[in-house]
């Protein structure tokens, strides 16, 4: 197994490992996986939706706002040459 960190923070030169991403809530099997960043986006999206609902947004409004935030993250990653 290739033990190269795949997370965007590591790709951008920061000292964050894929194990740190697992500690943040990703399943262990995602570590060093090409799907790690997509899984992290999905995890953060779900947390954002829950947080927006907890603050009083409707579910549809919360999903819309979380979708916007995910889109911003994806565009920024692509603009910086990071691999999904």
Tens digit of each residue's pLDDT (9 = 90 or more) over 14-69: 999 999 999 999 999 999 999 999 999 999 999 999 999 999 999 999 999 999 99
Question: Hey, which bits of the chain come out as E strands?
Answer: none
Question: How confident is the model at residue 29, as a pLDDT?
Answer: 95
C-alpha to C-alpha distance for 84 and 77, rounded to whole angstroms? 8
At residue 23, what are phi and psi to the nearest 5 degrees?
Answer: -60, -30
**Could you tell me if 21 and 13 are in contact, meaning their C-beta atoms sit under 8 angstroms apart?**
no
Helix (H, G, I), strand (E, B) or coil at 55: coil
């Amino acid at each position: 197994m290739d033990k190269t960190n795949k997370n965007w923070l590591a790709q951008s030169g920061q000292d964050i490992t894929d194990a740190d991403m697992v500690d943040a809530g990703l399943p262990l099997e995602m570590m060093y996986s090409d799907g790690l960043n997509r899984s992290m986006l999905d995890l953060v999206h779900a947390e954002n939706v829950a947080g927006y609902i907890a603050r009083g947004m409707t579910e549809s409004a919360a999903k819309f706002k979380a979708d916007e935030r995910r889109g911003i993250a994806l565009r920024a990653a692509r603009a910086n040459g990071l691999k999904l």
